[in-house]
A and B are shown apart, each in its own frame.
Chain A
Amino acid sequence: MLIDARTLPDHTDIAADVCIVGAGTAGITLANELVGQGVEVALLESGGRKPDRESHALNDGENIGRPYFSLDTSRARFLGGCCNRWMLNIGGGRLGARVRPLDAVDFEKRPWVPHSGWPFDKTHLDPYYDRAQRICEVTPLTYDPRDWSDPEMRPILRFRDDRVRTVIFKFCARDPFLKGCLDRIVKAPNIRTYLHANAVDIETTETGRTVTGVKAACLHGPTFRVRAHIVVLSLGGLETPRLMLLSNRVHAGGIGNENDLVGRYFMEHPHFRLGYVVPIDPGVIQTTGLYNQVHTVDGVAVVGKLALTEAAVRRERLLNFVAQLNPRIMPASKLAMAMYPNVPSDAVRSVKAIRKALSTGRMPRDGVGHLRALARGVDDVFISAARKVKRDLMHRFDKRKVHAYWLENMSEQSPNPDSRVSLSDEVDALGQRRIHLNWQLNEMDLKSAVRSFRIMDAAFRAEGFGRLYNELDDLTAPEKITGGWHQMGTTRMHEDPRQGVVDANSRVHGMSNLYIAGPSVFPTVGYANPILTIVAMTVRLADHIRGKMKR
Chain B
Amino acid sequence: MTTPRWGMVIDLGRCIGCSGCKETCAQFNGLPRGAQWRRVIEKTLGEGSERVRVFISMGCMHCGEPSCVGVCPTGATRKRPDGIVIIDPNSCIGCGACILACPYRARSITLDDPIRMPGEDPGITSFGIGVCTKCDFCCDRIDAGLEKGLKPGVDAAATPICVRYCLGEALHFGDLNDPDSDVSRLIRENPHVVRMNQSLGNDPAVFYIPVNEEHQQTHESDPHHPA
Contact = CB atoms under 8 A, between A and B. Distances in A.
Interface of A: 48-57, 60, 70, 72-73, 76, 84-85, 87-89, 93, 95, 153, 196, 219-220, 285-286, 289, 292-293, 295, 326-331, 334, 401, 403, 406, 426-428, 434
B114 A328 contact: yes
B223 interface: no
A354 B18 CA distance: 42
Where chain B touches its partner, the secondary structure class is loop
B118 A51 contact: no
B152 interface: no
Nearest to B156: A93
A49 B111 contact: no
B217 A54 contact: yes
Contacts of A329: 112-113, 115, 129
Contacts of B40: 73
Contacts of A93: 156-157
B127 to A, nearest CB: 10
A193 to B, nearest CB: 15
A76 B167 contact: yes
A89 B27 contact: yes
Interface in B33-55: 33, 40, 42, 48-49, 51-53, 55
Interface residues of B, number: 46
A50 B220 contact: yes
B171 interface: no
Contacts of A330: 111-113, 129
B46 to A, nearest CB: 12
Interface in B94-144: 111-115, 117-120, 129-130
Where chain A touches its partner, the secondary structure class is mixed
B221 A49 contact: yes
A95 B21 CA distance: 13
Nearest to A427: B49
A428 B48 CA distance: 9
Nearest to B127: A329
A242 B113 CA distance: 43
Interface stretch (B9-17, B68-76, B80-88): B9-17
A55 B17 CA distance: 13
Contacts, number: 125
B216 interface: yes
A70 B17 contact: yes
A295 B119 contact: yes
Nearest to A290: B117
A328 B165 contact: no
The interface centre, meaning the residue of A51, A326, A329, A331 with most chain B CB atoms within 10 A of its CB, is A51
Given A49-B220, A89-B24, A328-B33, A72 B53 contact: yes
Given A70-B17, A84-B167, A85-B18, A426 B112 contact: no
Given A52-B218, A53-B14, A53-B216, A293 B23 contact: no
A327 B14 contact: no
Contacts of B148: none
Nearest to B54: A53
A334 B119 contact: no
A48 B16 CA distance: 13
Contact of B129 (A73, A88, A331): A331
Given A70-B42, A293-B117, A293-B120, A88 B27 contact: yes
B27 A53 contact: no
Contacts of A85: 18, 20
6 contacts: A53-B211, A76-B167, A293-B117, A328-B32, A328-B33, A406-B33
Contacts of B217: 52, 54, 219-220
B168 interface: yes
Closest 6 CB pairs of A and B: A73-B17, A327-B115, A330-B112, A89-B27, A289-B117, A328-B112
A426 B50 CA distance: 9
A53 B129 CA distance: 39
Contact of B16 (A51, A220, A406): A51
Given A73-B17, A330-B113, A334-B111, 8 more contacts: A50-B168, A52-B217, A53-B53, A56-B17, A76-B18, A85-B18, A85-B20, A406-B33
A428 B49 CA distance: 6
Contacts of B48: 426
